[in-house]
Amino acid sequence: MSFIYYCQIELHDSMYHATREIGRLYETEPIIHNYALCYALGLVDSKKYATTVSEEDSYRYFCPEQVPKYEQHLTPLNQQGIYVTPAASIHHTSILNTWKYANNNYHVEMEKTQKNIPSFGRAKEIAPESKFEFFIISQKDIKDLLPKWIRLGKWMSKAEVTVMETQTVNPSNSDKEFMVPFPLNPLDVMFSHQVISYDVINMSPVSLIENVRVKGRFYQFGQSSQLEIPAGMQYRFKF
């Protein structure tokens, strides 16, 4: 028996992360990686969920080095039986911000300079009031432990989390070929399912896939049980 939560995120600030860089344009794809969601929801640091994360591996208050530790941080969630899917846009709008900066070597290195050469860049961000949807699959009921407010992206933008629907389900007894209408992390699904076809969403640290046709066990979700969610997904870090 598993608990599946259908959740929505509504942005209260503009959200920015550099999904791709095109010259001086830094573009935010209207999608939220499931790694980022785990950190934002407090699943990595909180002792309510993953109790095996050591203090030196925790990013809760301070990050002493810019070295990702996804495997160390997310593997304990497999032991807890918790999995979060990437979040896809329900509806969104984008905004384009232009920023400028000048050569400030004389401030940093105390160098003399007669030049002040300005430069600029553009950041394409996701606007406030945009909405996203995602699923949490858990072996235990964690609804009361999920936060109402989270922070997302480079600017730590404020966002509201709402659990729209909760169901308890059992996985299917047999394999079946079916379509998944929301994005997936390919590393997490390829170990448990045969992936037949998909489209790639290029982003870091792991590109996601959408319009996925897979074969394997599944959960049926929703009042009409028409939505089929792959069963047995876990965080993986190697093909």
Which secondary structure element, helix H or strand E, spans residue 195, and what is its range?
strand 194-201
Each residue's pLDDT, cut to its tens digit, for the chain (239 residues) gives 899 999 999 999 999 998 888 888 899 999 999 999 999 999 986 444 444 445 445 555 556 777 788 999 999 999 999 999 999 999 999 999 887 766 555 555 555 655 656 577 889 999 999 999 999 999 999 999 999 999 999 999 999 999 999 999 999 999 999 999 999 999 999 999 999 999 999 998 999 999 999 999 999 998 777 899 999 999 999 76
Could you give phi then psi for residue 84, rounded to 5 degrees?
-120, 130
Structure tokens at 185: 């992390």
C-alpha dist (Å) from residue 107 to 101, 110, 112: 13, 6, 9
> Residue 197 forms beta bridges with which residues?
213
Q: 20-22 and 25-27 as β-strands: parallel, antiparallel, unpaired?
A: antiparallel
| 2-169 to CATH, choices 3.30.70, 3.30.310, 3.30.2310, 1.10.1760 | 3.30.70
- The one-character DSSP state at 127 is P
Query: Would you kindly state where each structural domain of the chain is located, as residue ranges?
Result: 2-169
| Global confidence as pTM | 0.85
